[in-house]
Structure 1
Amino acid sequence: MKVLTQNTALATFGHTIPAAFFTGGAFIAGVSAWLIVKNRDVEMAKPAAKLGLVTMIVSFLLVFVSGDISSRVMTNQQPMKMAAAEALYTTQSGAPFSLFTVGTLDGSRPVFSIDLPSMLSLLSTGNTKGVVQGVNDLEAKYKVQYGPGNYTPNIPLAYWSFRLMIGFGGLGLLFALLALWRMRKGGLPKGRWFLPAMISLPFLPLLANSLGWIFTETGRQPWAVFGLIKTADGVSPSVAAGNVAITMIGFTILYGILAVIEFGLIIRTIKVGPAPDEPQRLETEFGGDTERPLTMAY
């Protein structure tokens, strides 16, 4: 029970579930836009599109709030991950938030950066003067604490996956706000490009979610369980490399087949469109069926 109720699990659960709704809302909006472009079930598609767009906006706000909570939890539990995400190499008080950084090819130091002063400290600690630990200081600390080794993740990968995650999610929010504004008063979005672009809207949260998982899993390295088990120590020496390869190939093929089937079913369902409403069968006061043909009777 403690595993399920730990602050990491609660924070990340509150982050991933709204992210799933963000993707679902974009999918509804995208399918609705396709129906409108094809001039099919337009009267049904317009309110459905609005529902999807509103879902995107509300869920993004929840993602933003839960993401802020998660970043503070990670700053306390896995400070190296957050330092790598910001390419912060030295411990600082009033640490800036990096909007754009160019580093050396090996990711060992920054060359050029554009920063927001004190913003990282505010996001990480809730205080503009808060102390945020840097990569180099944490590396030295971990070598003393855990022994010789390399405790720094791939900084360019962590840095850019974190920013692209935020960037694609932010683009999805902006598009949803613009589309909802253009559809005010029951109208359709104007512009030749808008509805076709709206069809591809689901790809933005999908990319954001994928990059978020890439950041989560690679930013934790070299740990499988931070501070307890390294990824290298998680390898089973009794399992042959051939067995691992066969398992990986098998799972890849299996999930590939399932993905093709699922994608095909989704496309087929979209093309068929919503089922037509069946007329309601009303009973007369004499128990008869109103849909039966009328006959003359005396």
Structure 2
Amino acid sequence: MIERRPVADFFSHAIMLVSIAIVVFPIYLAVVAASHTLQDVMQAPMPLLPGDLLFHNLAAALFNGPENVMAGGSSPALMLMVNSIIMSLAIAIGKIAISLLSAFAIVYFRFPLRMFFFWMIFITLMLPVEVRILPTYKIVADLGMLDSYGGLVLPLIASATATFFFRQFFMTVPDEMIEAARIDGAGPLRFLWDILIPLSRTNIAALFVILFIYGWNQYLWPLMVSTDVRYQTIVLALGRMMLAPEAAYEWPIIMSTAVLALLPPILVVVLMQRWFVKGLVETEK
């Protein structure tokens, strides 16, 4: 029987509501700023109620972009979002594919120095992109991959976390299932495709959401390798918009771009919420 504690419940809900308000209020301000003219946004105090120009400013950001930005120009938010989606999907799908294969090899194949290679992969968790960014940039530049989708994606496509995640799951698969697949004549790739991947679908979904948002939020690496506006991501473009002279800030368009940048990650989380939660908490496969 669950004990009823009204006072504790009240304070728990109050803390939760205050926390939600702290997180949501800046997003609300961005939506409000995106719905007014520049004069309304620049006045003090700024209006706290939405205006009637939200869809007009969103369309202007989506198809035109801000007019006054730093030297080098800017692109419409539509092109920036396409670049970000390509980068995020490629990173998420690439990381999952490589991690599945590497975890499959480590768990089900016996070869010399197998655990050594696993620990070498695991140790890379302590070497994020920021630590190895200079040698990685030199390799990408020497291969002629600057200002390209390959340069944006390939250095970020391996994942020690996902490899470890899949390895731990594969080790829980009963040996009887492996023997049954072998008796049925299934080879290694058939066993991976027909048995392991279907069993891992909730794990794959959870990782996809995490890795998509990881790719979408990348700023430092795209800043290093994409000097051409055609390959800018929307997160990088938002930072560049803030480098314009202060008097040239087009706040309604900048805030409209920020609102547009929120939509794809939110859509991915909403559409895959059930699979995401199952992949993180489900223990019985």
Report the TM range for the smaller structure's normalisation: 0.3 to 0.5
Structure 1 or 2: larger strand share? 1
More helix by share: 2
Identify the structure with bigger relative contact order (alpha carbons < 8 Å, sequence gap 6+): 2
TM-score of the superposition, structure 1-length normalised? 0.34
Larger radius of gyration: 1
